[in-house]
């Protein structure tokens, strides 16, 4: 059984419904897909689009990475480690980093309040990410009960990360900034669950009750950089889909980790 068949078999037996996309990040050639256009509740993978929408505002001078953003006590969520010492002002740059590298929900909400959901959605529409939309703040369960949620798809996430890799968004410097932020990701419970040593990965995870996702760029020795996105929904509890995502990533690891030259995970010339 080859690696593609192995991944499909893992997806078939996963405790939930699986969407996935694997493609060459440079050419966009699809190597494997499964329900890649299915719109799913995004969980924290929506933060990738929020980051790029915020950087678009920086690009046009409507925001500055050094600008202080005050986060009052009433906006601090109970799961925040960044704000566990109380209210404070942090530079926008730091909020964006915490939003991605530890998936801090308080930092994310501060960014959304700074720019507004409409601006994020307008950016996604401009980029053609038609399944990706922000309708609520992080951990706003009342909004979910009222029928509002955040959404994306494997296809949209693949388009986002591949365009970022190719430098087709923002500016060259801001693309490099975004890639460095994603490369600093500290959430490793999905792709890296069964991988025994670090690999360069610019990615974003997401989980909620019944939902587990991981999505981003992976670099394997002697292979072109790839985008891989695995999205598990309808699972029996939060975290239930992580073993399947880890098994699929391990299949890629076993198939792609060959000795040889490495393809740097960066834009040409950086």
Contacts of 246 (CB under 8 A, 6+ apart): 190, 191, 192, 193, 194, 195
Q: Is residue 181 part of a domain?
A: yes
What are the tens digits of pLDDT across the range 172-216?
Answer: 999 999 999 999 999 999 999 999 888 899 999 999 999 999 999
| CA–CA separation, 136 and 230 (whole Å) | 23
Q: Is residue 266 part of a domain?
A: no
Instruction: Give whole-number Cα distances, 100 to 45, 72, 168, in Å.
Output: 9, 21, 21
| CA–CA separation, 35 and 240 (whole Å) | 20
pLDDT: is 149 or 1 the higher one?
149
pLDDT at 260: 41
Q: Is residue 270 part of a domain?
A: no
Of 66, 64, 101, 70, nearest to 83 by C-alpha is 70
| CA–CA separation, 166 and 265 (whole Å) | 10
| pLDDT average, residue stretch 48-75 | 98
For the cut 50, the answer to whether the pLDDT of residue 163 exceeds it is yes
What are the tens digits of pLDDT across the range 64-105?
Answer: 999 999 999 999 999 999 999 999 999 999 999 999 999 999
pLDDT: is 11 or 198 the higher one?
11
Q: Is residue 269 part of a domain?
A: no
pLDDT: is 230 or 222 the higher one?
230
pLDDT: is 238 or 148 the higher one?
148
- Per the prediction, the chain carries an average pLDDT of 94
Q: Is residue 60 part of a domain?
A: yes
For the cut 50, the answer to whether the pLDDT of residue 270 exceeds it is no
For the cut 60, the answer to whether the pLDDT of residue 142 exceeds it is yes
| pLDDT average, residue stretch 130-152 | 97
What are the tens digits of pLDDT across the range 237-258?
Answer: 889 999 999 999 999 999 988 5
| CA–CA separation, 221 and 245 (whole Å) | 21
For the cut 90, the answer to whether the pLDDT of residue 10 exceeds it is yes
pLDDT at 197: 82
Of 5, 81, 69, 45, nearest to 205 by C-alpha is 45
Q: Is residue 22 part of a domain?
A: yes
| pLDDT average, residue stretch 166-174 | 96
pLDDT at 220: 87
pLDDT at 258: 54
Of 56, 88, 62, nearest to 73 by C-alpha is 88
| CA–CA separation, 99 and 36 (whole Å) | 25
Q: Is residue 46 part of a domain?
A: yes
| pLDDT average, residue stretch 139-146 | 96
Phi, psi of 255 (to 5 degrees): -80, -35
Q: Is residue 70 part of a domain?
A: yes
For the cut 60, the answer to whether the pLDDT of residue 264 exceeds it is no
Q: How many domains does the structure of the chain reveal?
A: 1
What are the tens digits of pLDDT across the range 15-30?
Answer: 999 999 999 999 999 9
DSSP one-letter code for 104: -
For the cut 60, the answer to whether the pLDDT of residue 269 exceeds it is no
The domain of 89 spans: 3-256
CATH number of the domain that residue 69 is part of: 3.40.710.10
pLDDT at 222: 77
Q: Is the dihedral of CA 160, 163, 167, 168 positive or negative?
A: negative
What percent of the chain clears pLDDT 70, i.e. is strictly above it?
95
């Amino acid at each position: 059984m080859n690696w593609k068949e192995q991944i499909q078999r893992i997806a078939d037996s996963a405790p939930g419904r699986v969407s996935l996309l694997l493609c060459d990040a440079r050419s966009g050639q699809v190597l494997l897909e499964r329900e890649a256009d299915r719109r799913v509740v995004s969980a924290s993978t929506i933060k990738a689009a929020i980051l790029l929408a915020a950087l678009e505002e920086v690009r046009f001078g409507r925001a500055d990475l050094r600008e202080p953003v005050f986060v009052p006590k009433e906006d601090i969520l109970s799961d925040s480690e960044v704000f566990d010492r109380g209210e404070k002002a942090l530079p926008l740059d730091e909020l964006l980093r915490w939003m991605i590298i530890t998936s801090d929900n308080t930092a994310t909400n501060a960014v959304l309040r700074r720019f507004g959901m409409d601006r994020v959605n307008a950016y996604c529409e401009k980029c053609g990410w038609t399944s990706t939309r922000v309708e609520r703040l992080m951990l706003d369960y009342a909004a979910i009960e009222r029928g509002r949620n955040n959404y994306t798809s494997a296809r949209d996430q693949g388009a986002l990360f591949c365009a970022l890799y190719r430098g087709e968004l923002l500016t060259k410097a801001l693309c490099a900034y975004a890639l460095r932020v994603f490369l600093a990701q500290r959430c490793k419970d999905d792709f890296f669950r069964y991988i025994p040593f670090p690999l360069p990965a610019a990615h974003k995870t997401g989980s909620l009750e019944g939902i587990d996702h991981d999505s981003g760029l992976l670099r394997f020795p002697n292979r072109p950089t790839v985008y891989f996105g695995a999205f598990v929904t309808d699972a029996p509890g939060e975290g239930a889909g992580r073993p399947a995502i880890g098994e699929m990533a391990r299949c890629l690891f076993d198939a792609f980790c060959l000795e040889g030259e490495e393809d740097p995970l960066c834009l040409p010339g950086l």
